Every structure is written in C-alpha cells, then in structure tokens.
C-alpha cells in the first residue's frame, strides 16, 4: 500500500512516500521538505530514493500558502523524470502527524469532520502545531480526495498514564474545566521503539518494561510497564521535563514572575525565551549537541556545565522511573542524540552503576545504524540503542486504520 506521510508546520511540509506491507517489508520511495511557505522565496527539496534511480532536486520559488507547497509535492512525486508514481491516485492513504487532541482520542483515527473539530478545539494547547496540522489535512484532502486521511496524535501513546501520573497538584477544576494535565509528546517515537525493543529482546509487548529516552533537539522520556506508558517527562506542552536544545525543561514557576519583574518581559516573551533561548543554548550559546560536546572537549567551561546539566536531569528521571517500573528490562536510547552521540550516552550512564546501569565503553563507541546492546556483557540490565522511525510508525498505523475501519 502506498502511503504518504505528512508533517505540516506553520511554514513547512515534511513528507515521505512509502510502499509498505509491514514493518519489515517496505520501500521508501521519496522524501522531501517544503519550507519558507509564505516568505518571499520558498524552497522545495525533493529526494527520489528508488534503488538505482536516486536523485535530489531543489527549487526556490515563492510559495504563498500550503496549497502551493502541496501542489509542488504532487508535481514532483508524479514528474516523469523526478517522480516515483504516475498519478496522485496511486496514493492509497495519507497519514498526518498531529500534535494533540487531548483526551478526545487515545488512538489513531480516520479524519472526519468530528476529528477536525476536535483538533481545532485544542488550538489553545497547541498553538504552534495544531493549526498547521489541520491546514495540512485540509490541503491533502483537496489534492488526494480519493485517499483516506488518517490522524496520528503525538500524545496518544501516553493516554495510558494513570491520574496519579498525569494530574498536576492544582485546583481540580483546572483539569475538569480547562483540561490542564500532563499529555506528553514524542508518543509516536516512544511507541515505535517500545515495539522494536520487545521484538529485539524476544518478549511479548504486553510483558516489556522499559525506560525510553528520546534525545534530539527536543527531549523526553517515558516509563513503560507492560508495553504501555505509565509516565512521561513532557507535560501539558513540550516545555516540561528534560533540558533540551533550546527549551528549559523543569523550572520553578515562581522564577518566571521574578525574572519578568527584573527584566520587564511579559508572559509571551517569557514563554518564548523558555522555548527558544533556554536549554543548552541558554547555558552555553549553542543548541547543536555536536558543537556542545566538541566545545566541552576543548575545555570550554559553560559547554561542560551544559553537558553536566543535560545528563544530570536525565539521570534523575531514570531514578524516578525505576521506582515505578518493576523488573526493568532495559534503558532505550533513541533519536538523533540518543542514537548517535556516544559521549552523551556515556555521561548519562556514568555514576549509575549502583542502579545496575553498567555501560561497556567499546560497545557504546562502536558505530552502527542497527538496534544494539551497549551494556557490559554480564550486566543484568540491558542498555539498548534503537533507531526511531516515526514516519514508518505513522505509515503503519495509517495502513492498519484504513484496513480495519
């Protein structure tokens, strides 16, 4: 089944087209990025990935709206030279990454007017993402009217958390009236690597107990018990939890009032600063972990401080999640930093030997793109590195939803 996966942002469209049967049998046909939508000059980067016919095409032209951007995607996918399909009608389903639908949907769903209304209802809790996600759905419906549209919610995997994990200790009507609670994000990634870890370890999904650690520019962790999420580090927005590239993570809310009083910032400026000027960038001036690691190795004090803070926050969450996940099978590192930065994995695991975390330096440093173990050979607790594939997970869920609904 040919599935188009779309992740629409406020000024961008990321896409992948794949032909798949199941998680082990699929072909990635094309991938691309439409960016700078609404600016004076937009950019489309399109890659054809058919073996023996790989190519990349880049074009710079004005793209006034997402509609023009999607028009270029369709034209490139069906181009006689650069394309991979003869006609848009070959696309049998479109899977959309959607940030949040709160507690309304706890699983992937086919898009209906009711689903679109629910996505719109949660604009206030996802103002940067939900409107763009819905725009992507509207545009895709126009260009692929024959194909079922499917919404995959980034928060859905975390809907199995119990109230003691998702509630904040605030007036209860803030939850019942205003929907204030921990929702969690990166759910598609945590779900994918949970299944991959179960398969790798040869355990049924219903028996697997993990701590999954998604480390990219955005970072989050999840406590997995019996294959289901029972806690996660991000909150009502992606700002809570770990130290990230440009996000602060956990902070005393009273500190915001203090800094606003000292600087004259309003609440919008404060939230913008916590999202875009904090985290690694706030401490040492850069948010690319490769640059931070290199600067720390060269003896830059604030880069070293940023790395220590980044690792320490993760260590504390590992300890907390060990308290709620009995008979833990593995720690799982994933996403850009988690998969590729052995110095960061080393810093996180260092000093946790009393918790059974015993990293093997040689295994940790050995380059690989495959799922692998990096703990010492005789360690009881496994440490896994599992590459995530959120687009594949979206495509798989899209296919399953179409076939079963």
- Region at 264 (left for phi over 0; alpha for psi -120 to 50; beta for the rest): left
What is the rounded end-to-end Cα distance, in angstroms, of the chain? Answer: 16
Cα–chain center distance at 306: 22
> Under a CB-based contact definition with an 8 Å cutoff, are residues 403 and 10 in contact?
no
Would you say residue 34 lies in a domain?
Answer: yes
Domain co-membership, 223 together with 120: no
**Is the pTM value of this prediction over 0.95?**
no
Chain segment 171-202, per-residue pLDDT in tens: 999 999 999 999 999 999 999 999 999 999 99
Domain co-membership, 22 together with 141: yes
Cα angle 246, 249, 252 (rounded to 5 degrees) comes to 125
Domain co-membership, 124 together with 224: no
Domain co-membership, 236 together with 144: no
Domain co-membership, 104 together with 251: no
Would you say residue 192 lies in a domain?
Answer: no
Domain co-membership, 371 together with 237: yes
pLDDT > 70 fraction of the chain, expressed in percent and rounded = 100
Domain co-membership, 127 together with 213: no
The domain of 321 spans 202-390
Q: Which of 96, 121, 153 is the last residue of a domain?
A: 153
Would you say residue 162 lies in a domain?
Answer: no
Cα–chain center distance at 112: 24
Q: Which of 298, 293, 175, 313 minimizes the C-alpha distance to 243?
A: 313
pLDDT > 90 fraction of the chain, expressed in percent and rounded = 78
Q: Which of 135, 153, 171 is the last residue of a domain?
A: 153
Domain co-membership, 138 together with 208: no
How much is the average pLDDT of 238-261?
Answer: 96
Q: Which of 363, 330, 364, 332 minimizes the C-alpha distance to 346?
A: 364
CATH number of the domain bearing residue 80 = 3.30.420.40
Domain co-membership, 144 together with 210: no
Q: Which of 153, 177, 210 is the last residue of a domain?
A: 153
Q: How many CB atoms lie within 10 A of CB 399?
A: 22
Chain segment 34-90, per-residue pLDDT in tens: 999 988 889 999 999 888 788 899 999 899 988 898 889 889 999 888 889 998 899
Q: How many distinct structural domains can be found in the chain?
A: 2
Domain co-membership, 206 together with 339: yes
| Beta-bridge partner residues of 19 | 2, 27
Chain segment 319-361, per-residue pLDDT in tens: 999 999 999 999 999 999 999 999 999 999 999 999 999 999 9
3-state SS assignment for residue 146: coil
Tell me if residue 60 is catalytic.
Answer: no
Chain segment 276-334, per-residue pLDDT in tens: 999 999 999 999 999 999 999 999 999 999 999 999 999 999 999 999 999 999 999 99
N residues, the chain: 405
Chain segment 112-157, per-residue pLDDT in tens: 999 999 999 888 887 778 888 998 899 899 889 999 999 999 999 9
Task: From the candidates 154, 250, 288, 378, give the one annotated as an active-site residue.
Answer: 154
Domain co-membership, 241 together with 103: no
Domain co-membership, 376 together with 230: yes
Would you say residue 176 lies in a domain?
Answer: no
Dihedral over Cα of 352, 356, 360, 365: its sign = negative
Chain segment 381-401, per-residue pLDDT in tens: 999 999 999 999 999 999 999
Residue 265 has pLDDT above 80, yes or no: yes
Would you say residue 167 lies in a domain?
Answer: no
Would you say residue 403 lies in a domain?
Answer: no
Would you say residue 299 lies in a domain?
Answer: yes
| Beta-bridge partner residues of 3 | 18, 93
How much is the average pLDDT of 4-27?
Answer: 88
Would you say residue 170 lies in a domain?
Answer: no
């Amino acid at each position: 089944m040919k599935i188009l996966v779309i992740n629409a942002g406020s000024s961008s469209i990321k896409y992948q087209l794949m032909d798949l049967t199941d998680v082990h049998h699929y072909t990635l046909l094309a991938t691309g990025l439409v960016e700078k939508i609404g600016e004076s000059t937009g950019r489309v980067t399109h890659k054809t990935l058919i073996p023996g016919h790989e190519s990349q095409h880049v074009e710079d032209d004005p793209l006034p709206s997402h509609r023009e951007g999607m028009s270029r995607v369709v034209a490139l996918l069906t181009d006689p030279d650069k394309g991979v399909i003869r006609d848009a009608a070959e696309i049998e389903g479109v899977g959309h990454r959607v940030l949040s639908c709160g507690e309304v949907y706890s699983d992937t769903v086919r898009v209906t007017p009711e689903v679109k209304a629910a996505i719109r209802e949660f604009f206030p809790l996802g103002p940067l993402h939900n409107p763009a996600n819905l725009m992507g759905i509207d545009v895709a419906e126009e260009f692929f009217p024959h194909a079922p549209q499917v919404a995959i919610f980034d928060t859905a995997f975390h809907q199995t958390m119990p109230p003691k994990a998702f509630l904040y200790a605030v007036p209860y009507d803030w939850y019942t009236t205003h929907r204030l609670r921990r929702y969690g994000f990166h759910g598609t990634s945590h779900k994918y690597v949970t299944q991959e870890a179960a398969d790798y370890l040869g355990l049924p999904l219903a028996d697997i107990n993990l701590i999954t650690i998604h480390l990219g520019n955005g970072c989050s962790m999840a406590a997995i018990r019996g294959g289901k999420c029972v806690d996660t580090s991000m909150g009502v927005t992606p700002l809570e939890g770990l130290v990230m590239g440009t996000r602060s993570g956990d902070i005393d809310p009273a500190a915001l009032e203090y800094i606003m009083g000292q600087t004259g910032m309003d609440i919008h400026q404060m939230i913008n600063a916590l999202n875009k000027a904090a985290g690694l960038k706030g401490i040492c001036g850069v948010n690319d972990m490769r640059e931070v690691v290199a600067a720390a190795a060269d003896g830059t004090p604030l880069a070293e401080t940023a790395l220590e803070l980044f690792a320490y926050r993760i260590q504390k969450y590992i300890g907390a999640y060990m308290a709620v996940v009995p008979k833990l099978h593995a720690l799982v590192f994933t996403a850009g930093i988690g998969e590729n930065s052995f110095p960061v994995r080393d810093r996180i695991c260092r000093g946790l030997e009393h918790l059974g975390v015993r990293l093997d330096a040689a295994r940790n440093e050995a380059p690989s793109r495959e799922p692998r173990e990096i703990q010492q050979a005789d360690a009881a607790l496994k440490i896994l590195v599992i590459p995530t594939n959120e687009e594949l997970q979206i495509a798989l869920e899209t296919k399953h939803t179409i076939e079963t609904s």
